[in-house]
Chains A and B, each alone.
Chain A
């Protein structure tokens, strides 16, 4: 087995689960495509910043880092885009990155694409954005809201992965909860230090964007998130 990755491996979700996660992903994907189109139509300059968020996801998901558990995992990189644009656009960007890795790197897979999009491109960005939006209302400095939001989103992604595997493989001596604890131990615990690294990297990049391009970032965010409520 060549691939040392962290998404659910090709062929490792039984067919009914593979189909269920794929179907569950579709409405989110539809909303994401609509939202992205709308954003680019309103402001063609958003394209560059969207590509920037995509590039960040690309880079971070190639960084396989060692963790205290003695195994490796990688950051998801979806937090930046979720913070800049809200969670909706990240479904599409995450899907593109996961497809690239499934087709060219045998990392993740086509049959597990729905499940992996659900964890990395839907739940992760939602948690990141929710935590970030909540903390922004407190007295915490902006960078701390970014860091905690990104780290918790990254962690949430791998908790969902563990849950998906435990749902698919509830057998074993200790039943569903036994399996859940085992998979959580593998994925989520390994991810803790890596989630912190993801939080830090996201802060560094958000900082640079704010230093040189604050106006555009903020106006695009208002447009993107304002549109969501309407």
Chain B
């Protein structure tokens, strides 16, 4: 338990340190940067295929990402709760 608290603290430190040590950085996606390098190596490169559908705005995109995370977390918590309840039930029986 104590070990896990330390691990959680390390995790938070990694995120906070990344933000703190790069004040003013853009924090764009690594793929956006890769596009830059591809254009540098191959000037005039045009992607030959475009996404079939793109979220119309950053808001819609964050809605979809939030949904993805919420659905996943929902199932994870359902399963953990089910396991905990079952193991307690067994212990009582």
Contacts and interface: CB of A to CB of B under 8 A. Distances in A.
Contacts of A9: 31, 34-35, 47
A197 to B, nearest CB: 5
Contacts of A207: 4
A105 B64 contact: yes
B64 A58 contact: no
A10 interface: yes
Interface size bracket, B side? 35 or more
B35 to A, nearest CB: 7
Interface residues of A, number: 70
B49 to A, nearest CB: 4
Interface string A99-110: 010111110011
Interface string B64-93: 111011011101100110011011000000
Interface in A33-70: 48-49, 51-52, 55-59, 61-70
State the main secondary structure of chain B at its contact with A: helix
Contacts of A229: none
Contacts, number: 186
Nearest to A209: B83
Nearest to B6: A200
A147 to B, nearest CB: 8
A208 interface: yes
A63 B69 CA distance: 8
A82 to B, nearest CB: 17
A15 B46 CA distance: 13
Nearest to A57: B72
A181 B8 CA distance: 32
Interface stretch (A117-125, A126-134, A183-191): A183-191
A165 B34 contact: yes
A174 to B, nearest CB: 9
Contact of B71 (A55, A105, A143, A186): A55
Interface string A142-178: 0100000000000000000000010001011000000
Nearest to B10: A200
Contacts of B86: 212-213
Nearest to A58: B72
A10 B69 contact: no
Contacts of B14: 193, 196-197
25 contacts: A2-B57, A3-B31, A4-B28, A4-B29, A6-B30, A9-B35, A48-B79, A71-B28, A103-B53, A104-B53, A104-B55, A105-B55, A106-B54, A169-B38, A171-B41, A172-B41, A191-B30, A196-B10, A197-B14, A197-B15, A200-B11, A204-B7, A208-B80, A209-B83, A213-B86
